[in-house]
Amino acid sequence: MTNSVFQGRSLLAEKDFTKSELEYLIDFSLHLKDLKKKGIPHHYLEGKNIALLFEKNSTRTRSAFTTAAIDLGAHPEFLGKNDIQLGKKESVEDTAKVLGSMFDGIEFRGFSQKVVEDLAKYSGVPVWNGLTDEWHPTQMIADFMTVKENFGKLKGVTLTYVGDGRNNMANSLLVTGSMLGVNIHIVAPDSLQPTQEVRDLAEGYAKETGSKNMITSDVDAGVKGSDVLYTDVWVSMGEEDKFEERVKLLKPYQINMDMVKKTGNENMIIMHCLPAFHDIETEYGKKIDEQFGIQEMEITDEAFRSKYARQFEEAENRMHSIKAIMAATLGNLFIPQA
């Protein structure tokens, strides 16, 4: 008998897990956060080696995997895109076989979903998707953990994502929210709305859980009654040539205090996966100001610093949730059914 329904599994996309398994990971994350705050050790991965592969940059995901691995008693090893042969001199299949023979688990952040899937297929160890062009599943556990911390529940909460409605964050929020019974509104211009494939996947789950989703370009209709306003950068990693087009298209979809008022909900919160362009304290921020005369993109500095904002709690939760994901899939924990 296997001791855990999670042991040895990969998290490549949200659909790899069931609703109750996602709920378990969220609750386990909250438990591990409590242990951490109380200083109670939780070395479930003592003696394990974890590879951290990054083709794209990262602050939160890299830091969260690193500190989570150390807190769990494991050894994390960062393998950046210029450090290893992957892609340039060695195939994904061969790399996966080598890494799988030395490491007990592999995190991958990069462009292609196929690469993360092949790493899992050929390595024989759990692989965790730290973001691809299509999905950001580890972020989802932290995000819905943050929603649960703030509202005490998930079912019936309305989370409205405004901005680039066809990027990895929008895809993941639409599908995961639908799995968990959270109502998801995607508010985006017509040309930046989710693909039919992602909508169909979400709709299938929503039918089971009762999520009431809305995909619209109408800001007023989309944000009304929201409990959470969520946004992400207008230009994702790998699309840096799209700033001009996106600035023009997405200006009406910026989270600002006027949009907060439009929710009509004084108990609402603001979330953002980060990094955020809320001022011109960054290279990109300065360039966009020079080119287009705007100092804030997807969220105003006022909204970002307002009493509604929860993005830094959400960022901290990345560590607790990644810890839960790694421990559940690699720690031989007794989890009879999720």
- Catalogue the active-site residues: 109, 136, 139, 232, 273, 318
Query: By CB under 6 A, how many residues form the interface with ligand NVA?
Result: 9
Binding mask 52-91 for ligand NVA (x = CB under 6 A): ----------------------------------------
Which residues from 22-41 bind ligand NVA, rule CB under 6 A?
A: none
What single DSSP character describes residue 56? S
Span interacting with ligand NVA, options 109-117, 231-239, 308-316, 328-336, rule CB under 6 A: 231-239
Report the alpha-carbon distance of residue 206 to residue 80 in Å, rounded. 38
When asked if residue 276 is in the footprint of ligand CP (CB under 6 A), the reply is no
The closest alpha carbon to 130, from 111, 156, 149, belongs to 111
Long-range contacts of 109-112 (CB under 8 A, 24+ apart): 109/53, 109/54, 109/55, 109/56, 109/58, 109/61, 109/62, 110/53, 110/54, 110/55, 110/56, 110/81, 111/55, 111/56, 111/238
Rounded to the nearest 5 degrees, what angle is found at the Cα of 193, between the Cα atoms of 223 and 20? 75
When asked if residue 232 is in the footprint of ligand NVA (CB under 6 A), the reply is yes
Q: How far is CA 47 from the centre of its chain?
A: 28
> Are residues 201 and 15 in contact, defined by beta-carbon separation less than 8 angstroms?
yes
Instruction: Using CB under 6 A, pick the residue from 4, 58, 168, 213 that binds ligand CP.
Output: 58
Question: Is 243 or 292 the residue whose CB approaches ligand CP more closely?
Answer: 243
When asked if residue 143 is in the footprint of ligand NVA (CB under 6 A), the reply is no
When asked if residue 276 is in the footprint of ligand NVA (CB under 6 A), the reply is no
User: If contact means CB under 5 to 8 A according to the sort of partner, which of ligand CP, ligand NVA, none does residue 59 touch?
Assistant: ligand CP
When asked if residue 188 is in the footprint of ligand NVA (CB under 6 A), the reply is no
For ligand NVA, the binding residues (CB under 6 A) are: 131, 167-169, 232-233, 236-237, 273
